[in-house]
Amino acid sequence: MRNSRTLRLIAGVMCAGTALAACGTSSTSSSSAGGGGFTPPKLEALSQLGQPEGALNILAWPGYAENGSNDPNVDWVTPFEQATGCKVNVKTFGTSDEAVSLMKTGQYDVISASGDASLRLIAGGDVEPVNTSLVPNYADIYDFLKSKPWNSVNNVSYGVPHGWGANVLTYRTDKVSPAPNSWSTMFDPNSPYKGKVIAYDSPIYIADAALYLMKTKPELGIKNPYALDDKQFQASVDLLKQQRPLVSEYWSDYLKESQALKNGDAVIGTAWQVTVNLTQSEGAPVQSTLPTEGATGWSDTWMVSAKSPHKTCAYKWLDHIVSPQANAKVAEYFGEAPANPKACSMTADAKHCEVYHAGDAAYASRIWYWTTPITQCIDGRTDVKCKDYGEWTRAWTEIKG
Amino acid sequence: MSIAASVSGFLYRKPRLRLGMLLSAPLLWLGLAYLGALAALFVTAFWHTDTFTGQVVTEWSLDNFATLFRDEVYRTITVRTLGIAVAVTVIDAVIAFPMAFYMAKFASPRAQRVLVIAVMTPLWASYLVKAYSWRIMLSGNGLIGWLFGATPGYGLAATVITLSYLWLPYMILPIYAGLDRLPNSLVEASGDLGGRPWGTFRSVVLPLTFPAIVAGSIFTFSLTLGDYITVKIVGGANQMLGNVVYDNIGAANNLPFAATVATVPVVIMLVYLAAVRRTGALDNL
């Protein structure tokens, strides 16, 4: 162990000499590292609203908090500022993982978190429970979106559902025939579309493989694609490694994917509805479908930072963003199903809710919403340990090779 | 006497103080902001994160380095990245040398200036615009497929082509500077002594400009080692060392492991610099 001691010594000296700030970070490291269960830090929800504090810092997906600076006609932040006197600052993020990192700075009051970020934020003590009785519009929201594993813990709500959508199977109608209705066209090693498949670039994509195995290999006993034990996880990883030669690209930027589909560099893949709409609008023959196996998807939640000094403004925002008017505007601008049914009558395109299957609980039930995988199996099993997101991330590097 | 004059008079009498004040800013920058940041990075590599909450746990361990050496995937990625860096460097050197040779030895002074500007023009355009242009050109129905009837598609070949394009100016300019400094009289002397063109080139021009080529290779090599954007745009499903670093910060929020991976190119560059120091190339930078 001599080497390790020397290294410690070197590291220690450098630490003392140069990087006091870096060494001092996060002395409050979680004591439950590697522990099995998931008990969120004890935090109380706000009991009553006060006077608006005059400022609000929002951390949001692009397109979720528009103030007219991108397009003068797209603006639901200014009316909010005028009504409440809360001056809004918006910071956007590109991936859930970036959002989690940014939220740790404690500089933001509210965040639009997808299910693969929300549990991490709750566990890290970055967000606190939300008193939904202080959010009048909460009552209108579809019941099938409330108190779900990604926005509540032990029936305590941690936020307000905002909108949802599926990761749909997307294909070029002129290059892919017959029209696919199963993910097997993306996983079968003998797929005729070898080298033309485009897949999502995130560890959470492992769930897509698990979902497929859930239907095609019932002997694995997968009940929830986000709760995988060793054997199930290995099978999913192996399936993705087998898919790797079929894949032309992994996408994380939906514009890049749209371009690949438009140019025919990829002919089949997993995409968001907004990508399909965009590609169609540019004249490419692209269609999407929800395959027989179902699909993964996202359900986003507005959450309140535990460190927020602007809690009243935060609650005002939560209520504003799921109000029928604002919810309709966001859903249409971003391309997703709104959480508030009353929004459906206010969209510019009367068929918006129909296209995105808003309120279609049967359609929604076939979607497995992104949820952070944790050691404790979220499908209810207690006899095994599940793989956590850290291991998913590691496996993802290995899959891409 | 004004204050400014008295201060300047005081400094005039204290040359050491003058020097100290002049150097303190750059030294502070080099010592704290630059080397300090590198040291902090190296320290972080010995920590780890709580995989669920993403918080950094400040316990010392060599686990990250063990993972880096044990898992085959990181070796594969390191070898792939090195291979791309070597290929880009060789391609750039082969393309740049004749170009720089013409610029330094045959072009008129006016044409020289025009050519130097022409070589530098691509540096004024955004990296992203250039990389995405290559994405479009290499696409199935892009310019390259239209011109040659086939395209390499997105993958390692596309990555090497795009990076070679991007870093070419960094190779041409040092070689041009090296050739420009080579006195014409040496070449003429070789000819007067009976040296044929090829012999002159091999035993006079090449040895004297080799340090310049090495200087250029430091740029192309190190820039390629650290790149992660081009491979993301035209690399298809492939990843390089930079992508692993990026994914561990962006996706996994695992700063310590990202720091561990980031030490790999640093070590490679240290080895490379130690090797090229012997050629005298560093005097040319």
Whether the predicted pLDDT of A240 surpasses 90: yes
Which pLDDT belongs to residue B34?
Answer: 83
For residue range A195-222, list pLDDT tens digits in order: 999 999 888 999 999 999 999 999 999 9
For residue range B193-239, list pLDDT tens digits in order: 988 989 998 889 988 888 899 989 999 999 999 999 999 999 989 99
Residue A206, chain B, CB below 8 Å: the answer is no
Whether the predicted pLDDT of B253 surpasses 80: no
Q: Which of residues 134-193 of A touch B (CB under 8 A)?
A: none
Query: Confidence class of residue B54 from pLDDT cuts 50, 70 and 90?
Result: low
Residue A20, chain B, CB below 8 Å: the answer is no
Whether the predicted pLDDT of A241 surpasses 90: yes
Residue A336 and residue A84 in contact, taking contact as beta carbons nearer than 8 Å: no
A390–B52: do the CB atoms touch at under 8 Å? yes
Residue B85 and residue B271 in contact, taking contact as beta carbons nearer than 8 Å: no
Q: Using an 8 Å CB-CB cutoff, list chain B residues near A97.
A: 250-253
Whether the predicted pLDDT of A141 surpasses 80: yes
CB half-sphere exposure, A272, CA atoms < 13 A: 20
Which pLDDT belongs to residue B259?
Answer: 92
Q: Using an 8 Å CB-CB cutoff, list chain B residues near A389.
A: 51-52, 252
Residue B154, chain A, CB below 8 Å: the answer is yes
For residue range A304-358, list pLDDT tens digits in order: 999 999 999 999 999 999 999 999 999 988 888 999 999 999 999 888 998 888 8
Q: Which of residues 83-112 of A touch B (CB under 8 A)?
A: 95, 97-98, 100-101, 104
Residue in chain A lying closest to B78 (CA): A401
Single-letter code of the amino acid located at A195: G
Q: Using an 8 Å CB-CB cutoff, list chain B residues near A120.
A: 52-54
CA A364 to chain centre: 16
Q: What is the mean pLDDT of chain A?
A: 86
Interval B94-102 mean pLDDT: 95
B54–A249: do the CB atoms touch at under 8 Å? no
Residue A31, chain B, CB below 8 Å: the answer is no
Residue A37, chain B, CB below 8 Å: the answer is no
Q: Using an 8 Å CB-CB cutoff, list chain A residues near B237.
A: 244, 247-250, 400
Helices B127-138 and B156-181, packing angle to 10 deg = 130
Interface predicted TM-score (ipTM) of this complex, two decimals: 0.77
Which pLDDT belongs to residue B91?
Answer: 97
Query: Confidence class of residue A17 from pLDDT cuts 50, 70 and 90?
Result: very low
Residue A194, chain B, CB below 8 Å: the answer is no
B56–A123: do the CB atoms touch at under 8 Å? no
Whether the predicted pLDDT of A113 surpasses 90: yes
